[in-house]
Amino acid sequence: MFAVVMWYSVLFSFILLHSARGQVSYSIPEEMAKGSTVGNIAQDLGLDLQRLRLGKARIYTGDSTEYIGLNKDTGLLLIKEKMDRETLCAKTTPCALHLQLILENPMELYTITVEITDINDNPPSFEKKRIHFEISESAVTGARFMLEGAVDADVGVNGLQSYSLKPTDNFVLELLSQPGGDKKVEMVLQRPLDREKRGVVTLLLTATDGGDPQLSGTVQIHVTVLDVNDNAPVFTQKEYKAILTENSAKGFKLTTVSATDADEGSNGQVTYYIASKEDIVRKMFIIDQYSGEVALNGLVDFEKASNYQIDIQAKDQGGLSDSCKLIIDVLDINDNKPVINVLSMSSSVSEDSTPGTVVAMMKVDDADSGVNGQIHCIINDNIPFALTSPSSNFISLRIEQQLDREKDAEYNISVTCSDQGVPALSSSASLSLQISDVNDNAPVFEKTNYEACVLENNTPGLSIFSVKASDADWNQNARVSYILEDSTVNGVSVSSYVSVQPDSGLITAMRSFDYETLKHFHFRVKAQDGGSPPLSSNVTVKITVQDQNDNAPQVLYPVQTGGSVVAEIVPRAADVGYLVTKVVAVDVDSGQNAWLSYKLQKATDRALFEVGLQNGEIRTVRQVTDKDAVKQKLTVVVEDNGQPSRSAVVFINVAVADSFPEVLSEFTDFAHEKQYNDNLTFYLVLALAAVSFLFITCVVVIISVKIYRWRQSRFLYQSNLPVIPYYPPHYADTGVTGTLPHGYNYEVCMTTDSRKSDCKFSTLGGQNVLVVDPSFTETMQHTIKKNNDLEGEYSTSVRKMLYTLQNKHNHGVQNN
């Protein structure tokens, strides 16, 4: 058919196809330009141009558009209007215009057929510019997708001839002939789609015709590949690592894990989970479901776990998953103090323990690791102890230097252990250690020697003073007892002079001291402690006996020879200041007590003599005259300077005469006096006998009363009668000295101005008042006499009597 059309167009183009009588055919291609010549109708019909003109030739087209006109002058048929075959005939072939040429004068009718041949002026065209498909990536090969075909208005070879599809990676084109000549265009899936590789596939479908030149039309095919969940999430790393510092705050972000899913939409939406089964891990860490950020949710303690392994799972919404591991290393921080455990500890150690002795064992632990757990221990300075470490974690406290309880009886030892972390942590333990005593100190006296003064005539048992020694040791080792060390004083054991109280060190006098026989003595006292063995030391004690005025002056000259009459002779021609004699006296006391002074107490003629106060010299004061008696009697008192003073009386006879016979005659008078004195002696003896008798009577009466009472109390045992002792008046001890009874109390006061007094009393503990036994007598007491003591007066007068008696007697002897 196309072949026929082509043949016609080639052969009859611009030519008269055939000319039958009254009928002519032309063939022209479509789209000829206006004015183009279709054919020479006049010639073809054999008509004269004249005829045409005269016959008013015209073309009749009916109602339709006049595409072709007639040029009557030339007899040519010309294109009047451009013709499109497709408009005129569409698919109908052949396509021809049927025209009538009408002539008048005569009326003639010619039929002109103009066949319009096709030219390829229309490309194949698709109705849409684009075609959209949505195909799941899971579509299987062989799946078919219908495509809309193209349209080509041209006919024949100019019409649609073929299709092509590019590229052909996934799809091929298949054309199916359909009844009616149409073709069904289908796209067949040849290779499966992968959305993850290409989410959109763009194809170009081209339709071509067979014209020359060939024309084509295209349409774009957009295939959107629909996702299916064909990809599991994939972690970017199979193993993640993170470092976590111990004690990090809750919420600390460790790391972010990440998984990708090639799918899209919900198939590609990944969520994360902790898949570890261990409870501890699940509690300790949390993961953000969407971001994959792993954070701390608890408190990490390196000492409990130094690392963690977390299984993490990533899931997409389609249920596919992947897993990875997160390995967390925990970094230790120094959060544990060293702990000191005292394993054993002696509470007390002897001061003589040898250096090196272990007194305490301790164990020190630190839960941290590395330098944070390395421990160094120290003790406080300046104590005689040291730490050693026999093995790691164990430390022992040893004695390093010799101990001395007397210096430090107790130690508070503080052991401080610190680790090497930054900052370092430390802890300390306090150990209290008592040092027990060893008897290593002897008692020490407070003084290197002791001296004390005691007034003579002390009472036996008098406390003199105490020695004291201290001992630096403790308790029994410091219990000091005092012992008097034996020695002799004047050939007698010292223990008969003094005694020492063992516990107090009080020294007491064992006897009454007499300055005149013993001025001082010394002895040693030992102080001994109660340790085992005991230690001791000794000290010298010197006792100085102090003088008291207990001796009256003794007159050495003139010799008092009882009744003998010795007279100093003074010549009448003696000058004023003539030395008659010198009284010489001594006092066995010392110092003031022995400082003597002389006074003229009585004299026959006071105006004639004087006595030198200091030297006892008796001198004449005036010229002797004849009127002066031959016989002069002087009484001189010698007094010492003691308090109270003691004195002696000297009687001196002085004869004022120029010749011995004169003296003698005068002194015979003394014989008369003796006669008188004999009488006196008789009375005196009588008086004495009476006194003695009275005394003996009293004694007898007292004894009788005593015996009577004793018997009475035995008989009248239950009578309850009051017993009244009876003593005779003036009952007294006539005593040791055999003199008449009298008694005095002396309060002895130490005078510092006493010349020879070279010691003073210090406080000697208990008693420091010396009580002098008053039972000494013998001498006349001036002071007391002045105090009108009757007894004193009595004694003085008696003594006077005795003296005179003796004197008379002696005179008598001399006279014979």
Ligand X SMILES: *[C@@H]1O[C@H](CO)[C@@H](O)[C@H](O)[C@H]1NC(C)=O
Q: Between residues 485 and 605, which has the closer beta carbon with respect to ligand X?
A: 485
- Of 410, 575, 669, 758, the one binding ligand X by CB under 6 A: 410
Phi, psi torsion values for 797, nearest 5 degrees: -65, -35
Q: Between residues 420 and 538, which has the closer beta carbon with respect to ligand X?
A: 538
User: Shortest Cβ distance from residue 535 to ligand X (Å)?
Assistant: 11
Ranges of beta strands (E only) in 661-744 are none
Q: Between residues 538 and 777, which has the closer beta carbon with respect to ligand X?
A: 538
Q: Between residues 538 and 814, which has the closer beta carbon with respect to ligand X?
A: 538
DSSP state of 279: H
Query: Which 3 state secondary structure label does DSSP give 278?
Result: coil
- Extract the tokens encoding 32: 């000829």
> Under 8 Å CB-to-CB from 185, ≥6 apart: which residues?
146, 147, 148, 149, 163, 173, 174, 175, 205
User: Shortest Cβ distance from residue 409 to ligand X (Å)?
Assistant: 8
User: Shortest Cβ distance from residue 412 to ligand X (Å)?
Assistant: 4
Q: Between residues 226 and 483, which has the closer beta carbon with respect to ligand X?
A: 483
Q: Between residues 485 and 673, which has the closer beta carbon with respect to ligand X?
A: 485
- Tell me the C-alpha distance between 620 and 636, whole Å: 14
- By CB under 6 A, residue 380 contacts ligand X: no
Q: Between residues 202 and 412, which has the closer beta carbon with respect to ligand X?
A: 412
Q: Between residues 434 and 623, which has the closer beta carbon with respect to ligand X?
A: 434
Whether a cis peptide bond, with omega within 30° of 0, leads into 725 is no
Terminal alpha carbon distance of the chain: 236
User: Shortest Cβ distance from residue 538 to ligand X (Å)?
Assistant: 4
- Of 65, 190, 412, 737, the one binding ligand X by CB under 6 A: 412
User: Shortest Cβ distance from residue 585 to ligand X (Å)?
Assistant: 46
Distance of CA 471 to the CA centre of its chain: 38
Q: Which amino acid is residue 760, in one-letter code?
A: K
CA distances from 374 to 380, 387, 393, 419, 670 (A): 20, 16, 9, 5, 126
- By CB under 6 A, residue 248 contacts ligand X: no
Q: Between residues 379 and 600, which has the closer beta carbon with respect to ligand X?
A: 379
The interface mask with ligand X, positions 450-489, x = CB under 6 A, is -----------------------------------x----
- Tell me the C-alpha distance between 803 and 565, whole Å: 13
Q: Between residues 525 and 638, which has the closer beta carbon with respect to ligand X?
A: 525
Let me know if 291 is exposed, middle or buried by CB neighbors in 10 A (0-12, 13-18, 19+).
exposed
User: Shortest Cβ distance from residue 532 to ligand X (Å)?
Assistant: 18
- Tell me the C-alpha distance between 116 and 93, whole Å: 9
Per the CB < 8 A criterion, the answer to whether 555 and 648 are in contact is: yes
Q: Between residues 183 and 524, which has the closer beta carbon with respect to ligand X?
A: 524
- Candidates 465, 468, 523, 532; CA nearest to 493 is 523
- By CB under 6 A, residue 121 contacts ligand X: no
User: Shortest Cβ distance from residue 446 to ligand X (Å)?
Assistant: 14
Per the CB < 8 A criterion, the answer to whether 312 and 226 are in contact is: no
User: Shortest Cβ distance from residue 534 to ligand X (Å)?
Assistant: 12
Q: Between residues 401 and 737, which has the closer beta carbon with respect to ligand X?
A: 401
Tell me which residues in 496-555 interact with ligand X (CB under 6 A). 538
Q: Between residues 171 and 474, which has the closer beta carbon with respect to ligand X?
A: 474
Tell me which residues in 771-810 interact with ligand X (CB under 6 A). none
- Count CB-CB contacts under 10 A for residue 673: 15
Q: Between residues 382 and 816, which has the closer beta carbon with respect to ligand X?
A: 382
> Under 8 Å CB-to-CB from 416, ≥6 apart: which residues?
377, 378, 379, 426, 427, 428
- Tell me the C-alpha distance between 326 and 401, whole Å: 59
Tell me which residues in 189-218 interact with ligand X (CB under 6 A). none
User: Shortest Cβ distance from residue 469 to ligand X (Å)?
Assistant: 12
User: Shortest Cβ distance from residue 410 to ligand X (Å)?
Assistant: 5
User: Shortest Cβ distance from residue 474 to ligand X (Å)?
Assistant: 15
Whether a cis peptide bond, with omega within 30° of 0, leads into 355 is no
User: Shortest Cβ distance from residue 539 to ligand X (Å)?
Assistant: 8
> Under 8 Å CB-to-CB from 537, ≥6 apart: which residues?
442, 443, 444, 445, 469, 526, 527
- Extract the tokens encoding 793: 């007066």
- Tell me the C-alpha distance between 531 and 698, whole Å: 63
- By CB under 6 A, residue 440 contacts ligand X: no
- Tell me the C-alpha distance between 398 and 668, whole Å: 111
Phi-psi region of 793 (alpha: psi -120 to 50; beta: other; left: phi over 0): alpha
- Count CB-CB contacts under 10 A for residue 570: 25
- Extract the tokens encoding 355: 């250096």
Q: Between residues 462 and 467, which has the closer beta carbon with respect to ligand X?
A: 467
- Kind of pairing, strands 76-79 and 37-40? antiparallel
- How many residues sit close enough to ligand X to count as binding (CB under 6 A)? 5
- Tell me the C-alpha distance between 117 and 19, whole Å: 19
User: Shortest Cβ distance from residue 555 to ligand X (Å)?
Assistant: 49
User: Shortest Cβ distance from residue 432 to ligand X (Å)?
Assistant: 6
Phi, psi torsion values for 197, nearest 5 degrees: -90, -50
Per the CB < 8 A criterion, the answer to whether 392 and 355 are in contact is: no
User: Shortest Cβ distance from residue 641 to ligand X (Å)?
Assistant: 42
Query: Which 3 state secondary structure label does DSSP give 541?
Result: strand
Tell me which residues in 72-101 interact with ligand X (CB under 6 A). none
Chain residues in the site for ligand X (CB under 6 A): 410, 412, 432, 485, 538
